[in-house]
Chain A
Amino acid sequence: MASYSTNEFRSGLKVLLDGDPCIILDNEFVKPGKGQAFNRVKLRNLTTNRQWERTFKSGESLEAADVMDQEMEYLYTDGEFWHFMKTDGSFEQYPADAKAVSDVLKWLKEQDVYTVTLYNGAPLAVTPPNFVELEVVDTDPGMKGDTAQGGTKPATLSTGAVVNVPLFITIGEVLKVDTRSGEYVSRVKS
């Protein structure tokens, strides 16, 4: 496996730190004029999502992590694994475990396309697109003519996600939702 020296560190680089795959967020070079140079590096552990800070002597190196992002379509779950398929026409399938899908589960809809992060060829994490379109399966009855009031109520979507929606939304409508904030964006015209 390749390795990267501190002077090759840049944000976005994926490396192994203490055995875990990490992405470099920031690399700050410090050096007393006559003294030893150091790199203060901020990283995010891709397994735990926790942010780390570590200082290296300049010239130290880290092993590259075999991490890559792939667009994949979500197929189905057998209860133990969630199965995804590459969209490049190869029909290659990848089973993701509960840990990998834990953050995406409430946005997961069959036949939609997600970003699957592979580590050593196995799904490490699944990221939803920024916007998803999901059907409302449960909410209080709509209140017509109340569109200008700006009040909200909870609505349960087909994936189980609960979002706050305007009062006029009714069961059966399809909504556009921002997965980063978990907020309602608009109704989708059918």
Chain B
Amino acid sequence: MSDLDDWQPTASLAALESRAQQLAWVRGFFASRKVMEVETPVMGRCSVTDLNIGSVPASPQLPGDESRQYWLQTSPEYPMKRLLAAGAGPIYQVARVFRDGERGVRHNPEFSLLEWYRPGFDDRELMAEVADLVCGWLGCPRPAYLTYRQAFEQFVGVDPFAADDESLRRLCAPWMTDAQLSRLLRDECLDLLMSLRVEPELARMGPVFITGYPESQAALARVSEVDGLRQAHRFELYVGGVELCNGYWELTDADEQQRRFDADNRARRRAGRQEMPVDQALLAAMRAGVPDCAGVALGLDRLLMLKLGLDDIAGVLAFPVERA
């Protein structure tokens, strides 16, 4: 493709029309369920501390303020939780979010995330609503349920909770050298096996929810003991092997949240990555009281890829990052 053609969209006009229809359908879905649409800043004073999510910095000049670092948001989660604490009730947002360094056939560093929160719901109830939305739009069968542990036992032949680090590393040996493996952390082994062993198997199944993640991958989900194992109330939906959403029965304990932020930053330091400022506004909102709720973030670009049967995200984006 020559530079002269770079002005043209990579998505067909028909795909862009489907995109508009999808957005209208999503808005209709939430309007009928009395969930309020909200908008929160794309550029914020803080971003996430997650070890594996990179934020794009922004440097606005503000009148009367010394210049300070802002960040393009990787998800609208923190400000939406502040709205929940302020008593907003059930809310959703169609947000433009940014993830630094992510580019591939299923990734563009800027993408559309549908995020919603349901006060009073737990993870089971929210999964049912996710299924209503996704299957209603795609016309697919309702998802099956598989725990993270079952998926690994079935497709990798290992118990991800019981196996020691060394046996997990050995399972990654087909893809990496011994030197690389020796530096691979436990969760990195699990992520590699999830991407290269489990996902290809999930691609052969109908839609499926993966539930019950290890505590180390809880992120912002609450953790409880299930079947004698500490498991996160976190779920992901895979359709055709494509990771479509990530949801939690949300952690509402501010002190535990603070501990996880600090643990994230320690892990960032160990990995040689930049530490991120902790969002004090979120912690203050949690202390004031975020209601018991479940929340989920769903990739709208991938949802449209599935709807249209496309393998490359460029097919649903007017202008991917190279042409932005």
- Using a CB–CB distance below 8 Å, which chain A residues touch chain B? 7, 18, 28-38, 40, 53-60
Q: Counting CB contacts under 8 A, is B192 at the interface?
A: yes
Contact, CB under 8 Å: A36 / B187: yes
Closest to A39 in B: B104
**From residue B278, how far is it (CB to closest CB) to chain A in Å?**
18
**What 9 A-B pairs are tightest by C-beta distance, nearest first?**
A29-B104, A35-B191, A55-B175, A36-B191, A30-B195, A36-B188, A33-B246, A32-B191, A32-B194
Closest to B236 in A: A33
Contact, CB under 8 Å: A57 / B52: no
Contacting residue for A35 out of B101, B175, B177, B187, CB 8 A? B187
Which chain B residues lie closer than 8 Å to A31 at the CB level? 52, 102, 104, 107, 191, 195
Complex: A101 Cα to B63 Cα, angstroms: 68
The 8 A CB mask of B177-200 against A (1 = contact, 0 = none) is 100100110011011101110000
Contact, CB under 8 Å: A54 / B176: yes
Residues B180-223 near A (CB distance < 8 A): 180, 183-184, 187-188, 190-192, 194-196, 217, 219
Closest to B183 in A: A57
**From residue A101, how far is it (CB to closest CB) to chain B in Å?**
32
**From residue A42, how far is it (CB to closest CB) to chain B in Å?**
12
Can you identify 8 A-B contacts, CB atoms within 8 angstroms? A7-B103, A18-B177, A32-B194, A32-B243, A33-B246, A37-B52, A53-B175, A57-B180
Closest to B246 in A: A33
**From residue B186, how far is it (CB to closest CB) to chain A in Å?**
11
Complex: A57 Cα to B156 Cα, angstroms: 20
Take A29-B107, A34-B53 as given contacts and tell me if A58 and B219 are in contact as well, using a CB distance cutoff of 8 Å: no
Closest to B194 in A: A32
Closest to B102 in A: A31
Closest to B175 in A: A55
Contact, CB under 8 Å: B188 / A55: no
Closest to B107 in A: A29
Q: Counting CB contacts under 8 A, is B262 at the interface?
A: no
**From residue A57, how far is it (CB to closest CB) to chain B in Å?**
7
Complex: A31 Cα to B191 Cα, angstroms: 8
Which chain B residues lie closer than 8 Å to A28 at the CB level? 104-105
Take A29-B103, A29-B107, A55-B175 as given contacts and tell me if A34 and B246 are in contact as well, using a CB distance cutoff of 8 Å: yes
Q: Counting CB contacts under 8 A, is B279 at the interface?
A: no
Residues B70-107 near A (CB distance < 8 A): 101-105, 107
Which chain B residues lie closer than 8 Å to A37 at the CB level? 52, 101-102
Contact, CB under 8 Å: A35 / B52: yes
Which chain A residues lie closer than 8 Å to B105 at the CB level? 28-29
Complex: A104 Cα to B243 Cα, angstroms: 48
Contact, CB under 8 Å: A34 / B175: no
Which chain A residues lie closer than 8 Å to B175 at the CB level? 40, 53-55
